[in-house]
Amino acid sequence: MSGRAPLRTAAASTLIAILAVAVLAADQFTKHLAIQNLPSERPVPVLGDFLILYLIRNPGAAFSLGEGVTWIFTLALAAVAVVILWLMITRVGSRAWAIVLGLLLGGVLGNLTDRLFRAPGFAVGHVVDFINTPWMMPAIYNVADIFIVTMMIGVAVLVVSGLHLDGTRENRGHAADDTTPRDGGGDGGEESPSDGAVEARPDGEPRDGR
């Protein structure tokens, strides 16, 4: 079992919802700022080559893959969101899982919002990307992407650690064999007090107690 008592379903659902809304709001707010203040497809160095702001609208996935099938990514994001919502309502009782799934759901909803409501149209909208860290990866991404990637790693860590969605933990150890001899047991047992005992006679001289 986990060291802490599992959350009730209502508490876990509330935590997931709060975190998801917070990430969604942060993602959409930063995208709004990027659109209002950054030139399109022109690099704006912030910390040299360490951090560059570069506003683009991405119809595909990472590295602009799948630009012609935007609707597939919309369906994939929607499916992930539905699965997380189902787990939120029915399964999650772990604080760690609630935090990870809440942040992941927020990231998924951030990009799903772009797919559904941004140009060029419903379900084929382009995702707003504006963060570039060439020292780490060549891709341009956004706040939602950060939470999606990091929380997927978090999901893997929780799975490997054996923590279940309901807050219980997988017991990977095995009980040690009990090899302690027991009193009165056959071979290897302790001798009874009379075995080999010497009984004293009233005159003080010892005599064989058997």
What residues does 44 pair with on adjacent strands? 53
Sign, CA dihedral 74-77-79-81, equals negative
Q: Report which of 41, 12, 17, 30 is spatially closest to residue 111, judged by C-alpha positions.
A: 30
Burial of residue 144 (number of CB atoms within 10 Å: 0-12, 13-18, 19+)? buried
Q: Crossing angle, helix 70-90 and helix 9-37, to 10 degrees?
A: 150
Residue in 27, 49, 114, 129 annotated catalytic: 129
Question: Does the annotation count 129 as an active-site position?
Answer: yes
Marked catalytic residue, from 145, 183, 195, 208: 145
Active-site residue list:
129, 145
